[in-house]
Amino acid sequence: MRIHFKTSYEHDIRLFPDWWSFFVYAALVAVAVILPWLLDDFFLGEVTNVLIWAIAGLGLMLLTGQTGQASLGHAAFLAIGCYSCIIGMENGLPFLLAFPLAGVITGIFGTLFSIPAVRLHGIYLAIATIALSVLADDIIVLLEPWTDGVSGKFAPMITIFGIEIERWTTPDRFYWLVLAVTILCTLFYRNLLRAPLGRAFAAVRDSEVSATAMGVHIAFTKAAAFGLSCAITGLAGALMGFYAGAFNNETFSIVISISLLMMIVIGGLGSIHGAFFGAVVIAFLPQALSMTTDMIGGGNVAIPGLETGVFGAILILFILFEPMGIYGRWLKIRTWFELFPFARKDMFKRQKSYLKTERLR
């Protein structure tokens, strides 16, 4: 059993709880780096897809899991990031400039959207973001001179210091690029949680009344959460465009927004690990269902809506029996083994209490 004896505030906000955690994550990164030599191109592409979804999940997790602002419109911000990056590269910008610029542009749009959105709560905020996701489809068509409308665009070749990167011809290079962006976004998220702004996000999520009493500016904090969340999501959208190769107004539909929200709920709200666990589920579930139907029906069985139905059933089961998601279940299993044989039967019993200050929201 490892006991964290904290003697100062710095111990509570350090990047890794202990050296063991540092070595575990370092080993995980090392395995991820050598993965192209261990997997074929197909499975390497699937892992790349998982990482892209994880980046998008980190963006939504920052807003929904960390700040408590439900959003069903992040597909629109994925589209903004994708089109911004591709259009910038078509106009002569190098990838190393167009890619971060796409994140900045998406963050600005997210901040502008948050100005009226911060006044909304709960279901009303979700409806407003749904409207944004629906409008994004029409806006892309209306901006045909820039976006090519329903015809869509093709992702250009990525060139970094003379090295050409493309998903189909050089999948290993594209994987390493996505892995580097994933690590940077994860470190940014983790350090943000250690900063005063990250603590303000958690305070707003738990109770806006209590956060206000502690001096947290609610409107500014929510706007910052929207801006940073959309910036990370925009980077994921740009990578999705390069991963798909071709995209149009139907690529970033409202289904993507719903899938993103379900992904972080299944993975575990409010945790970095939850974004990765949820990304694994949403990326590999279609392949698992395809392999299962092939084994049962020899490849001739096609069940409409099977993927959506299974994903919805998994979501319902998690909401009913494990609201903390996959990461929450893993924490319980790990804690049980760490405390064995002193673990109690009702140690993980769900609490039904709530803050009375929530009545004043």
pLDDT in tens, 274-330: 999 999 988 888 887 777 777 776 555 566 677 778 888 888 888 888 888 898 888
Mean pLDDT of 214-232: 92
Beta bridge partners of 165: 158
Question: Which pLDDT value is given to residue 359?
Answer: 47
- For 77, the token pair is 């911000």
Q: Where are the beta strands (DSSP E) in the chain?
A: 153-154, 158-160, 163-165, 246-247
Residue 4 reports pLDDT greater than 90: no
Residue 346's pLDDT is what? 66
The model's pTM: 0.90
* Token pair in block for residue 266: 């299944």
> By C-alpha distance, which of 213, 216, 207 is closest to 357?
207
Tokens matching residue 23: 């070595």
73-124 residue pLDDT tens: 899 999 999 999 999 999 989 999 999 999 999 999 999 998 888 888 878 8
Q: Write down the domain spans for the chain.
A: 38-256
Please state whether the peptide bond connecting residue 341 to the residue before it is cis, i.e. omega within 30 degrees of 0: yes
Q: What is the pLDDT of residue 356?
A: 52
> In which residue are the tokens 């609201």 written?
323
160 has which bridge partners?
Answer: 163
Q: Measured between alpha carbons, how far is residue 345 from residues 2, 109, 330 in Å?
A: 21, 49, 17
What Å distances lie between residue 155 and 82, 83, 166, 246, CA to CA?
A: 9, 10, 9, 6
Across 23-33, average pLDDT: 92
Helix (H) or strand (E) holding 175: helix 171-194
CA distance 266 to 213: 33
CA-nearest of 106, 49, 122 to 74 is 106
Over residues 230-275, the pLDDT tens digits come to: 999 999 999 999 999 888 888 888 888 888 988 999 998 888 999 9
Asked whether the predicted pLDDT for residue 360 surpasses 50, the reply is: no
User: Does an H or E element contain 73, and which?
Assistant: none
Q: Is the pLDDT of residue 23 over 60?
A: yes
Q: Residue 347's pLDDT band (boundaries 50, 70, 90)?
A: low
Pairing of strands 246-247, 153-154: antiparallel
CA angle in degrees (0–180, nearest 5) for 315-318-320: 110
